[in-house]
Amino acid sequence: MMRRIQAAVGMIIALAFLLVACGGSTDASLGSEVATDAGTYNEITVAELNPLLDDPQFIVVNTHLPFAGDIPGTDLSIPYDQLEQHLDQL
């Protein structure tokens, strides 16, 4: 159970990073901004993620390492350390 929670949290953080990094429209009310040395991203909650899952333009990418399975509805599985090599899939 704890692994599923960790995987879900990891995926949510990665998805939030991808939302910001891909240059999509950012809604200031979505999530909370987190600053890092490399820039910023918005961290979103499960409640904020759920409505996005209904959007066919929204892609769910599992970036968790080590791979522990996909959450239902996952579109792609790309390890976070290989995202740059797979940008064509995003």
- For the chain, the structural domain boundaries read 2-89
pTM value is 0.54
As a whole-number percent, the residues of the chain with pLDDT over 70 amount to 76
Distance between CA atoms of residues 90 and 76, nearest Å: 9
Q: Pairing state of beta strands 61-62 and 76-77?
A: parallel
Mean pLDDT within 44-68: 87
